[in-house]
Amino acid sequence: MKLMDIFGTLKRDMDFIERQLYRSIDGDDELLSETSLHLLKAGGKRLRPVFVLLGGKFGNYDLERLQHVAVPLELIHSASLVHDDVIDDAGTRRGKPTVKAKWDNKIAMYTGDFIYAKALVLAAELSNPEIHRILSKALVQMSIGEMEQIRDFFNTEQTVRNYLLRIRRKTALLIAISCQLGAMAAGAPEKVSWLLYRYGYNVGMAFQIRDDLLDLCGTEKSIGKPPGSDMRQGNITLPVIYALQEPKLRDSLLHEIHGIRAQDGAGDVSKAIDMIISGPGIGQAEKLADRFISKALEALEGLPENKSRAHLKEIALFVNKRSY
Amino acid sequence: MKLMDIFGTLKRDMDFIERQLYRSIDGDDELLSETSLHLLKAGGKRLRPVFVLLGGKFGNYDLERLQHVAVPLELIHSASLVHDDVIDDAGTRRGKPTVKAKWDNKIAMYTGDFIYAKALVLAAELSNPEIHRILSKALVQMSIGEMEQIRDFFNTEQTVRNYLLRIRRKTALLIAISCQLGAMAAGAPEKVSWLLYRYGYNVGMAFQIRDDLLDLCGTEKSIGKPPGSDMRQGNITLPVIYALQEPKLRDSLLHEIHGIRAQDGAGDVSKAIDMIISGPGIGQAEKLADRFISKALEALEGLPENKSRAHLKEIALFVNKRSY
């Protein structure tokens, strides 16, 4: 089941957002439009715009206004992906060649810069300084999260806390403000946008933990790229941190990780993955994801009972579904 | 003579801006603060903040407000430099190692992302949507200009018009809005900020032409990096375009440029530079820079006569001074 199947009611509005997304990057420069469109057309769940629209349902829902938040948030997400692919040296994303693979790193870097800037131009049309402040602060946090990820590559001494802080910045924050800004742009009460922020933050944390689990436990078909790519690039994720805390596993797993590092991403990660899967790390990570989802559902309890709240609940449960 | 010597009157305020510049990137993340500070401390003329402050003198000069424009503009300029160094594969800038040389390309990319985002956070504190709109649109144009530059590397068929459009986006626009936003943030009349924009645009065009001339005619000592670096990376600048229009030079210069391209930046560019200097290209480029400066001075004529206007005139003449 796809995420979009859950909310047929939003279909028409999401089609509009999709068109605006393509329009937003069109026209200025042929090459930039081509690279940006390539990136956007590679797909994605459009999770952030969905959250904006659902958040907007808690106020005066106005698609014309909401697009000025929904489109920028998806653009910011896409720009972060294209810069991420430069770092990860990723050849494919969602089963299609990345911008850096089809063109090159330099073009990918400026494609990201262009899309970030386009996002800000669109958001500026709303003339709401508070929305600008929240967006630009999120961009700062995201770039810090990315830098922390680079710095912590192959750092086998990092703690669960390091990991959580990093995914908070890298992933959860943007999802949190998607929910929040949808409500804000629709003039919902402050308490509502705050609860939506909390919902989004917790869903975002669970989402990233599940994504990291999938990279270890999924198949190339289910994730659109070879599994174990985090391991190969040295991105130590939650199940790995837990596995390293296990005395019986620690030394042999450290040995494997050092071997992967020495081969600079070209080595075989299957032995390391087997070790992690054999231990309690996967289950522990799943439990933590469950806890974040519980907190997300708790935040929803405080919101007025409506169809949008029911959808948000479905999404939270969907995000946390085991897909491996 | 240094640019700063011209306006001792601004010294105290520029010291304040300098401190705010360092403060703006401090504290969030150790590595990012270090790389950003390295970039900012490498120096630079702080031309954009100077223009902001001088623009502010045409309205209600309030340094506390103006810093929210001056610091972001210098940060945006710095961020564009650090991404530029990734593209140019530059080892040094202003005589010091670049971020990409001291750390690596990936770290340079995120340092740029971080500084861009910090600039936007600071500008958002002003709560003036118009300033946000102008800033974000300039970011879009700058990224297009950078992409055009990559696309046109070693394109020996490009026209003077291509070149002018590119440097307009890459350089002149940010200087134009520095002058304009200073006046706007100080509440100066619209006609004043518009004339300042025109002044800045024309000074910016001349500035880039002079910079490109310097790369051909300067010495390693005067420009802080080996001369001919534009040639080596395939950046075809105005004097080269003019030289290629010269029937007597064209074929042999094309031959040299193809040779430089084949050696992927490692070749000797001195023969090509000698050819260009022997022809009329340098003189023609200088003449065009003169024309932009005349237009800049013309724009100043429409402004109220004050000390700031006199300073702007001095800067325009300074920018256009031959320094080779």
Among residues A65, A33, A232, A257, which one has the least CA distance to residue A157? A257
Name the strand (E) or helix (H) holding A96. strand A96-97
| Chain B contacts to A (CB-CB under 8 A) | 28-29, 31-32, 83, 86-87, 105-107, 109-114, 116-118, 120-121, 123-129, 132-133, 135-137, 139-140, 142-144, 146-148, 150-151
B140–A118 CB contact, under 8 Å: yes
Residue A246 identity (one-letter amino acid)? E
The token duo for B249 is: 């030079």
Q: How far is A187 from chain B (nearest CA, A)?
A: 18
Average pLDDT rounded to a whole number, residues A2-8: 63
Distance of CA B266 to the CA centre of its chain: 26
> How far, in Å, CA of A34 to CA of A31, rounded?
5
Q: Which of B105, B110, B136 sits opposite A143 (nearest CB)?
A: B110
What integer pLDDT is reported at residue A227 of this predicted model? 87
Q: Which of A31, A83, A144 sits opposite B147 (nearest CB)?
A: A31
Helix axes B105-124, B30-41, angle to 10 degrees: 90
Q: CB–CB of B309/B219 below 8 Å? A: no
How many A×B Cβ pairs under 8 Å?
Answer: 130
pLDDT confidence band for A21 (50 / 70 / 90): very high
Q: Which of B31, B121, B148 sits opposite A136 (nearest CB)?
A: B121
Q: How far is A193 from chain B (nearest CA, A)?
A: 20
Considering Cα of A26, then A28, then A30, then A34, what sign does the dihedral take?
Answer: negative
**β-sheet bridge partners, residue A97:** A92
Q: Which of B28, B112, B136 sits opposite A121 (nearest CB)?
A: B136
What integer pLDDT is reported at residue B7 of this predicted model? 67
The residue of chain A nearest to residue B117, with distances taken between CA atoms, is A140
- For A222-236, the pLDDT digits (tens) are 887 788 989 998 999
Considering Cα of A254, then A257, then A263, then A268, what sign does the dihedral take?
Answer: positive
* Cβ neighbours for B300, distance < 8 A, ≥ 6 positions apart: B195, B199, B309, B312, B313, B316
Residues of chain B with Cβ-Cβ distance to A83 below 8 Å are: 109-110, 113
- For B236-284, the pLDDT digits (tens) are 999 999 999 999 999 999 999 999 999 887 778 999 999 999 999 999 9
Q: CB–CB of A221/A264 below 8 Å? A: no
Q: How far is B313 from chain A (nearest CA, A)?
A: 33
Q: Which of A28, A123, A140 sits opposite B114 (nearest CB)?
A: A140
The token duo for A14 is: 């999401």
- For A97-121, the pLDDT digits (tens) are 887 778 888 888 999 999 999 999 9
What integer pLDDT is reported at residue A206 of this predicted model? 98
The percentage of chain B sitting over the pLDDT mark of 90, rounded to a whole number, equals 72
What integer pLDDT is reported at residue B203 of this predicted model? 98
Q: CB–CB of A157/A250 below 8 Å? A: no
- Select the residue from A80, A110, A128 to test the B interface by mutation, using most B Cβ atoms within 10 A: A110
> How far, in Å, CA of B272 to CA of A53, rounded?
59
Q: Which of B113, B114, B139 sits opposite A120 (nearest CB)?
A: B139
The token duo for B3 is: 């640019």
Whether the pLDDT of residue A169 is over 60: the answer is: yes
What is the residue whose two structure tokens read 């509502």?
A192
> How far, in Å, CA of B114 to CA of B253, rounded?
41
Q: What is the DSSP letter of A97?
A: E
| Domains located in chain B, CATH noted | 3-321 (1.10.600.10)
> How far, in Å, CA of A68 to CA of A23, rounded?
13
What is the residue whose two structure tokens read 């990409």?
B100
B109–A83 CB contact, under 8 Å: yes
Low-confidence ranges of chain B (pLDDT < 50): 1
Torsion of CA A242, A248, A249, A255, to 10 degrees: 130
Q: Could you list the beta-strand ranges (E) of A140-264.
A: none
What integer pLDDT is reported at residue A264 of this predicted model? 80
Q: How do A96-97 and A92-93 pair as beta strands?
A: antiparallel
Q: Which of B106, B111, B126 sits opposite A87 (nearest CB)?
A: B106
- For A202-215, the pLDDT digits (tens) are 999 999 999 999 99
Residues of chain B with Cβ-Cβ distance to A121 below 8 Å are: 133, 136-137, 139-140
What integer pLDDT is reported at residue B315 of this predicted model? 94
> How far, in Å, CA of A72 to CA of A279, rounded?
41
pLDDT confidence band for A1 (50 / 70 / 90): very low
Among residues B285, B282, B281, B288, which one has the least CA distance to residue B243? B281
A120–B120 CB contact, under 8 Å: yes
What integer pLDDT is reported at residue B5 of this predicted model? 64
The residue of chain A nearest to residue B116, with distances taken between CA atoms, is A140
Average pLDDT, chain A: 91
Q: What is the DSSP letter of B96?
A: E
Burial degree of B170 (CB within 10 A; 0-12, 13-18, 19+)? buried
> How far, in Å, CA of B117 to CA of A136, rounded?
6
Average pLDDT rounded to a whole number, residues A146-156: 91
Residues of chain A with Cβ-Cβ distance to B125 below 8 Å are: 133
The token duo for A111 is: 């494609």
Q: Is B71 left (phi over 0), alpha (psi -120 to 50) or beta?
A: alpha
B121–A106 CB contact, under 8 Å: no
Total-model pTM: 0.92
Residue A90 identity (one-letter amino acid)? A
What integer pLDDT is reported at residue A88 of this predicted model? 67
What integer pLDDT is reported at residue B23 of this predicted model? 95
The token duo for A295 is: 């907190």
Name the strand (E) or helix (H) holding B93. strand B92-93
Distance of CA B295 to the CA centre of its chain: 19
